[in-house]
Chains A and B, each alone.
Chain A
Amino acid sequence: MGILEVKNVNKRFGGLKALSEVNLSIAENSVHAIIGPNGAGKSTLLNVLVGKLIPDTGSVLFDGQSVLGRTPYEINQMGISRVFQTPEIFGDLSVMENMMIACFAKRDGAFTMQAIGSMMKERDIVEKAEQMLDSMNLADKRGMHSASMSRGDKRRLEIAMCLAQEPRLLLLDEPTAGMARADTNNTIDLLKKIKQDRDITIAIIEHDMHVVFSLAERITVLAQGTPLVEDTPENIKGHPKVREAYLGETQVAA
């Protein structure tokens, strides 16, 4: 029984079948990659997992509890954090404030009315935020307006905010899209370190085979809205069905 169990999920948009009979199990503390060509239904699946879309049929269980029908913030509070393709951060606020928001969300839940006390006097929050920034090498940028940071820094801030919530499942949507090779490698190292330091399950939706094969312990190949194969990276590389459906199109860099 994995931490995330997707069973018989179907979703259609008008005449288009985006997901059909998707079954997926992500084991706790694993790094699980979901790959597939464009239009395979990766983004639809992700949006179902975080509550943005509700599937037509099927069930999604996180740690034995259904996530269907819950709003994105409720699902997040259950322990699923999402990193976006283009970093979503609070651009108008400082890096430290970004971090503190995530810490407050972890400590106080979806809504708490604390309108009078100063936020800077919340010692535990300030300390935790500073610690997180330190560990992500963002400490020297704490007062910076976060919109003015480089893309790589924004990505690290976003990941840091997700980690501050101590999620049990971290969902990454093409975390290295649009990055130069050096930045991509840094991100891979960062994710490896994150995995090493804590008990966390990571699910990655990715295009870049280099990233997938450097990180994943298990890979699910999605094609035309349905899982084709699920196996270890070694077996996936040689799998004829995968070659046919997917890898044939791209150069495998591994």
Chain B
Amino acid sequence: MLGLNRKDTAILLVVAALAIFAPIILNLFPARSELAFFNAGYPDLMQRFVIFGIFAIGFNILFGLTGYLSFGHAAFLGVGSYAAVWMFKLLNYNVVPAILLSIVVAGLFSVVIGWISLRRSGIYFSILTLAFAEMSYRLAYSVLTPLTNGETGLQVYTDDPQVLMQAGGHIVPHLFGLEMRAREVIDVGPWQFVFPVGYYLCAILMLVSFYISIRIFRSPFGLMLRAIKSNQTRMTYTGLNPKPYTLAAFVISGMYAGLAGGLLASMDPLAGAERMQWTASGEVVIMTILGGAGTLIGPILGAGTIKYLENVFSKMNEGLLHKWFAFLPDWVESPVIWVVSKFTGEGWHLMLGGLFMLVIIALPGGLVEGGQRIMRLFGRKPKAETRTSTEPAE
């Protein structure tokens, strides 16, 4: 289907089904029940799942295929957000020009940064991208304040030109009149499912991004990117120039980041420099590796897992822990809660760092590799993709 072989089509369909039914899957528990805590489905969060999914899919095209570890990809996300908000300020709240511009601007930005950074490889490349991102972050807070509105963050004000705005036009982001924050709420018995418009726009774009990434993975271009990661010496002595291939991968992943940034701004028309900080770049690295760098589905899994855990763990407070561990005798309960509380609520990042270390140490292939190991354990041929599939397409 769509020029994919059977296995890739299956993966795409599974992801599509997950995306379409996410409002239900992520809210498995009745709204008023105790377990509703594990629901993750309030609309903002679902949007973040797919937006960061897009970000990680793009990052994976660079890091997963070529092995070039960029520590500055958040800069492109931030630039995308700023571009989108500027479109809201100058034209009107329609998200189409905003998203298009955010992709274009992030693309141009990544051509410049990539062209310079890719003159070096390995650790030097990582540090160069890190330096560029930190530079952008600091500039956004200082000199570029007229463009970025500094610490306040860029937002739309009533005296902005908005030249395409008609009288009585929408005053929130919309897609040709369909407001992003509009939602359909369906109650089924004690369950409550929310279907937001904004989420579905993001989900569709995520599926398109994912589809493009599958095509890239299976294309001659994708093969060349994997060749770069494997052996650059053999590549040059096979008459291939690795530079333009790597730059193309860098720019593509920069555009994915720009799209993600544009969508973040479209869901909530506000852009701040903190999106460009290097911790944000680190986050997308973590997502990609946790899921499985170099695999198709890995980045989506990683982004989803991290955003879900972040939501659940940072919601846990001491009161809740007391309720959960009430069955324990007091002298056990206190230390248990003390330990657990270090990892929850405010301590979520401790959990994240630990989880990340664990993955790097024990499971460098991420969740995908973990899944394959479990499959093998049960004596079945792993159904998940392998990195080097050479079976002809049907």
Any A–B CB pair closer than 8 Å = yes
Chain A residues at the B interface, C-beta cutoff of 8 Å:
50, 71-73, 76-77, 81-82, 84, 88-94, 96-97, 100-102, 104-106, 108-122, 125-126, 142-143, 145, 161, 165
Instruction: Name the one of A122, A143, A145 contacting B220, with C-beta atoms under 8 angstroms.
Output: A122
Q: Are B238 and A102 in contact (CB under 8 A)?
A: yes
Q: Which of B16-24, B225-233, B258-266 contacts A (4 or more CB under 8 A)?
A: B225-233
Query: Complex: how many Å from CA A105 to CA B241?
Result: 10
A105: min CB distance to chain B, Å: 4
Q: Are B215 and A142 in contact (CB under 8 A)?
A: no
Residues of A near B218 (CB, < 8 A) are 118-120
Query: Complex: how many Å from CA A105 to CA B245?
Result: 13
A171: min CB distance to chain B, Å: 10
Residues of A near B235 (CB, < 8 A) are 73, 90, 101
Instruction: Name the one of B4, B212, B230, B233 contacting A93, with C-beta atoms under 8 angstroms.
Output: B230
Residues of A near B387 (CB, < 8 A) are 92
Is B190 among interface residues, defined by CB-CB distance under 8 A? no
23 contacts between A and B (CB under 8 A): A73-B236, A73-B238, A73-B239, A76-B237, A81-B237, A82-B237, A84-B233, A92-B388, A94-B390, A97-B226, A101-B235, A104-B220, A113-B221, A113-B248, A116-B216, A117-B219, A119-B219, A119-B222, A119-B223, A120-B218, A120-B390, A145-B388, A165-B239
Is B6 among interface residues, defined by CB-CB distance under 8 A? no
Residues of B near A91 (CB, < 8 A) are 230-231
Instruction: Name the one of B220, B231, B390, B392 contacting A88, with C-beta atoms under 8 angstroms.
Output: B231
B1: min CB distance to chain A, Å: 13
Chain B residue nearest to A102 (CB atoms) is B238
Is the interface on chain B under 10, 10 to 19, 20 to 34, or 35 or more residues? 35 or more
A97: min CB distance to chain B, Å: 6
Is B234 among interface residues, defined by CB-CB distance under 8 A? yes
Query: Complex: how many Å from CA A105 to CA B223?
Result: 12
A249: min CB distance to chain B, Å: 31
Residues of B near A120 (CB, < 8 A) are 5, 218, 390-393
Query: Complex: how many Å from CA A114 to CA B248?
Result: 11
Query: Complex: how many Å from CA A109 to CA B224?
Result: 12
Chain B residue nearest to A115 (CB atoms) is B221
B380-394 residues with Cβ-Cβ distance < 8 A to A are 387-388, 390-393
A12: min CB distance to chain B, Å: 25
Q: Are B220 and A114 in contact (CB under 8 A)?
A: yes
Query: Complex: how many Å from CA A112 to CA B5?
Result: 23
Is B240 among interface residues, defined by CB-CB distance under 8 A? yes
Is B3 among interface residues, defined by CB-CB distance under 8 A? yes
Contact count A vs B, C-beta below 8 Å:
126
Is B347 among interface residues, defined by CB-CB distance under 8 A? no
Instruction: Name the one of B216, B226, B244 contacting A92, with C-beta atoms under 8 angstroms.
Output: B226
Q: Are B241 and A110 in contact (CB under 8 A)?
A: yes
Residues of B near A82 (CB, < 8 A) are 237
Residues of B near A101 (CB, < 8 A) are 223-224, 227, 235, 238, 240
B361: min CB distance to chain A, Å: 21
Of the listed residues A94, A101, A114, A126, the one surrounded by the most CB atoms of chain B closer than 10 A to its CB is A101
Q: Are A72 and B236 in contact (CB under 8 A)?
A: yes
Q: Are A118 and B237 in contact (CB under 8 A)?
A: no
Residues of A near B392 (CB, < 8 A) are 120, 126
Chain B residue nearest to A145 (CB atoms) is B388
Query: Complex: how many Å from CA A90 to CA B224?
Result: 11
Query: Complex: how many Å from CA A114 to CA B219?
Result: 7
Query: Complex: how many Å from CA A59 to CA B387?
Result: 45
Query: Complex: how many Å from CA A108 to CA B390?
Result: 20
Inter-chain pairs besides A100-B223, A120-B390, 6 sampled, C-beta below 8 Å: A71-B241, A72-B236, A96-B390, A105-B240, A119-B218, A120-B392
Residues of B near A50 (CB, < 8 A) are 237
Residues of A near B215 (CB, < 8 A) are 115-118
Q: Shortest 5 CB-CB distances between A and B: which pairs?
A: A76-B239, A115-B221, A90-B230, A92-B230, A110-B241
Query: Complex: how many Å from CA A247 to CA B313?
Result: 75
Instruction: Name the one of B4, B239, B388, B393 contacting A77, with C-beta atoms under 8 angstroms.
Output: B239
B89-109 residues with Cβ-Cβ distance < 8 A to A are none
Q: Are A110 and B240 in contact (CB under 8 A)?
A: yes
Q: Are B239 and A106 in contact (CB under 8 A)?
A: yes
Residues of A near B220 (CB, < 8 A) are 104, 108, 112, 114, 117, 119, 122, 125
**Interface 0/1 of B190-218, CB less than 8 Å to A:** 00000000000000000000001001101
B224: min CB distance to chain A, Å: 7
Residues of A near B245 (CB, < 8 A) are 111
With contacts A88-B231, A92-B230 taken as known, whether A115 is within 8 angstroms of B390 at the C-beta atoms is no
Q: Are A97 and B239 in contact (CB under 8 A)?
A: no
Q: Are B240 and A73 in contact (CB under 8 A)?
A: yes
A182: min CB distance to chain B, Å: 26
Residues of B near A161 (CB, < 8 A) are 234, 238
B305-332 residues with Cβ-Cβ distance < 8 A to A are none
Chain B residue nearest to A89 (CB atoms) is B234
